[in-house]
């Protein structure tokens, strides 16, 4: 547990101080005595020699002082370096059980301050739901000396607190077991969260409504499970939103993916609790956007199903008619994500969305191409593609644009149906080309394949294990961009 206090000036009676450094220079602000300057210089010299290191504690001017390297991690942006610095500070302060830590950040730019706060919040995340003994939640209060920046920093801190609240919820949902968070349970969770946020409305499309309206992708994928599939629609339409922008989010919500008849191997299958990461990110993002009162009309479509083996499970070779009238042949039951997303994309288009972003842990091919740290994305509009990159950079989430290569489309042509859900090569590209078939040409669309960074089985940046909450902050940054561009 953490608390943030911001003031023009902070007294020196805290348990510890923290100083950020890069090589031999203290960053942001430090008010030290002449002797303190000498002590700091000596400590940083020892760091350069390898005698001391990041997160070490030294006595400076009579105060325990944690030294945090603000440029330690290779391959990260300057802002993400600061997030990591804040994360390590939070872990160290909690480990040493410092009740209060003083930070001198008066000279930090807004984005630098925001990055450090995000890192501190990330350090406080724990998922102990299934532990028989819940560890003590030690509380650290960070007292931030901001001088003339106090009011600006308070506003930023309030926004970060909201973002991190929903990132934490997103991670909790993904980390919950597949048997517990089935489609029905996820729908109930979405209802609870939507009712807590003023300005959000929610509609549940159950299997009967899906069938009546031709949403057969979800019905096909969910046919092998005792839990019925559903689509959740959330809407947010603030009074100050522009009339010509409507962003729709479409999230893949496979609450557990066995692969169906095209069964996955046992290795790594337990990680398939994360196959609803796209839907979790979409839900978290629209809730956060509404709470932050971002001035953009938006909606979210969570496509929820469980891909199990059962007596009614879809079979390889089956053919169904999609919402837009195209027939789809099932070449592989483990390529189910694109089938449920087809319903969400059609629903988003019917709602009059001008921009659609879908998020999905969709293909292993993307992980093989870009590894676990980078999300690949596809876009049918150059301006939207630039916005994705800019938003990702601001959110410290890495995205790489992939080509919508039409030459490969012929691999999706089926002998009997209009489309096959798989081809023979370029798996991530073919998946995107398949999804594009359900997006109107006049709608700006981007597809995020977050299969790599949505979930980790080893320590990565500020996640020790499990769900990362990837995508939530990029979506919020894109909403800010869309809101700002309309104001201009």
- Where in the chain are the domains? 1-160, 175-481
CA 312 to chain CA centroid, nearest Å: 34
Q: What is the structure's pLDDT at 486?
A: 56
Q: What is the structure's pLDDT at 16?
A: 97
CA end-to-end distance (rounded Å), the chain: 40
Q: What percent of the chain shows pLDDT beyond 70?
A: 99
Average pLDDT score over residue span 143-149: 95
Q: What is the structure's pLDDT at 12?
A: 87
Reported confidence tier of residue 484, pLDDT bands at 50, 70, 90: confident
pLDDT at 95 over 70: yes
Average pLDDT score over residue span 45-67: 96
pLDDT in tens, 341-391: 999 999 999 999 999 999 999 999 999 999 999 999 999 999 999 999 999
Range 441-478 burial, b when 16+ CB lie within 10 A, else e: eebbbbbbbbbbbbbbeeeebbbeebbbbbbbbbbbbb
Instruction: Give the C-alpha separation, 224 to 453, whole Å.
Output: 28
pLDDT in tens, 263-276: 999 998 999 999 99
Instruction: Give the C-alpha separation, 459 to 55, whole Å.
Output: 18
CATH of domain 1-160: 3.40.220.10
Angstrom distances, CA of residue 73 to CA of 100, 103, 120, 486: 26, 21, 16, 37
Q: What is the structure's pLDDT at 290?
A: 98
Which two tokens mark 239? 């009074």
Per the prediction, the chain carries an average pLDDT of 96
Which residue is catalytic, options 91, 338, 461, 480? Answer: 338
CATH of domain 175-481: 3.40.630.10
Q: What percent of the chain shows pLDDT beyond 90?
A: 95
Closest CA to 469 of 197, 194, 122, 162: 122
pLDDT in tens, 300-356: 999 999 999 999 999 999 999 999 999 999 999 999 999 999 999 999 999 999 999
Q: What is the structure's pLDDT at 31?
A: 83
Angstrom distances, CA of residue 111 to CA of 17, 108, 134, 176, 187: 22, 8, 35, 32, 35
Angstrom distances, CA of residue 94 to CA of 123, 188, 419: 9, 34, 54
Q: Are the C-beta atoms of residues 68 and 19 closer than 8 Å to each other?
A: yes
Q: What is the structure's pLDDT at 32?
A: 87
Q: What is the structure's pLDDT at 175?
A: 98
pLDDT in tens, 236-248: 999 999 999 999 9
Domain 1-160 and domain 175-481 have a common topology: no
pLDDT at 221 over 90: yes
pLDDT at 487 over 60: no
pLDDT at 459 over 80: yes
Q: Is 264 a catalytic residue?
A: yes
- What angle is formed at CA 292 by the lines to CA 79 and CA 240, rounded to 5 degrees? 120
pLDDT at 50 over 90: yes
Which residue is catalytic, options 64, 72, 96, 264? Answer: 264
Mean pLDDT is lowest, of 131-140, 292-301, 303-312, for: 131-140
Q: Is 151 a catalytic residue?
A: no
The helix (run of H) or strand (run of E) holding residue 430 is helix 427-436
User: Crossing angle, helix 472-487 and helix 382-395, to 10 degrees?
Assistant: 120
User: Crossing angle, helix 150-175 and helix 277-291, to 10 degrees?
Assistant: 150
């Amino acid at each position: 547990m953490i608390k943030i206090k911001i003031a023009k000036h902070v007294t020196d009676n805290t348990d510890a101080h923290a100083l950020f450094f890069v090589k031999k220079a203290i960053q942001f602000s430090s008010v030290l005595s002449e002797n303190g300057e000498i002590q700091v210089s000596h400590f940083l010299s020892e760091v350069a020699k390898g005698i001391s290191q990041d997160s070490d504690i030294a006595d400076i001017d009579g105060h325990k002082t944690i030294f945090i390297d603000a440029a330690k991690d290779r391959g990260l942006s300057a802002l993400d370096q600061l997030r990591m610095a804040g994360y390590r500070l939070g872990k160290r302060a909690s480990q040493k059980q410092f009740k209060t830590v003083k930070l001198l950040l008066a000279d930090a730019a807004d984005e630098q301050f925001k990055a450090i706060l995000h890192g501190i919040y990330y350090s406080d995340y724990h998922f102990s739901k299934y532990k028989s003994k819940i560890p003590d939640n030690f509380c650290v209060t960070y007292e931030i000396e901001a001088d003339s920046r106090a009011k600006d920093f308070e506003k930023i801190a309030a926004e970060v607190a909201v973002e991190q609240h929903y990132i934490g919820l997103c991670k909790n949902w993904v980390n919950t077991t597949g048997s517990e968070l089935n489609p029905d349970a996820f729908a109930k969770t979405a209802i609870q969260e939507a009712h807590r946020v003023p300005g959000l409305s929610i509609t549940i499309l159950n299997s009967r409504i899906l069938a009546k309206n031709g949403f057969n992708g979800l019905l096909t994928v969910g046919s092998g499970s005792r839990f019925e599939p559903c689509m959740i629609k959330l809407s947010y339409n603030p009074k100050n939103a522009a009339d010509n922008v409507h962003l729709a989010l479409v999230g893949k919500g496979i609450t557990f993916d066995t692969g169906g008849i095209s069964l996955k191997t046992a290795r790594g299958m337990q990680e398939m609790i994360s196959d609803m990461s796209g839907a979790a990110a979409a839900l978290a993002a629209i809730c956060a956007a509404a709470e932050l009162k971002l001035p953009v009309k938006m909606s979210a479509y969570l496509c929820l199903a469980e891909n199990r083996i059962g007596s009614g499970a879809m079979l390889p070779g089956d053919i169904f008619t999609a919402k837009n009238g195209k027939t789809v042949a099932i070449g592989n039951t483990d390529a189910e994500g694109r089938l449920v997303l087809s319903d969400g994309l059609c629903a988003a288009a019917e709602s009059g969305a001008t921009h659609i972003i879908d998020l999905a842990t969709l293909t292993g091919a993307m992980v093989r191409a870009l590894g676990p740290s980078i999300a690949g994305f596809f876009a049918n509009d150059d301006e939207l593609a630039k916005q994705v990159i800019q938003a990702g950079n601001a959110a410290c989430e890495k995205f790489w644009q992939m080509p919508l290569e039409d030459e490969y489309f012929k691999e999706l042509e089926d002998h009997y149906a209009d489309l096959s859900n798989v081809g023979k090569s370029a798996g991530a590209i073919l998946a995107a080309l398949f999804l594009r078939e359900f997006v109107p040409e006049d709608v700006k669309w981007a597809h995020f394949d977050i299969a790599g960074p949505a979930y980790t089985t080893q320590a990565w940046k500020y996640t020790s294990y499990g769900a990362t909450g990837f995508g939530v902050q990029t979506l919020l940054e894109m909403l800010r961009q869309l809101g700002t561009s309309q104001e201009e």
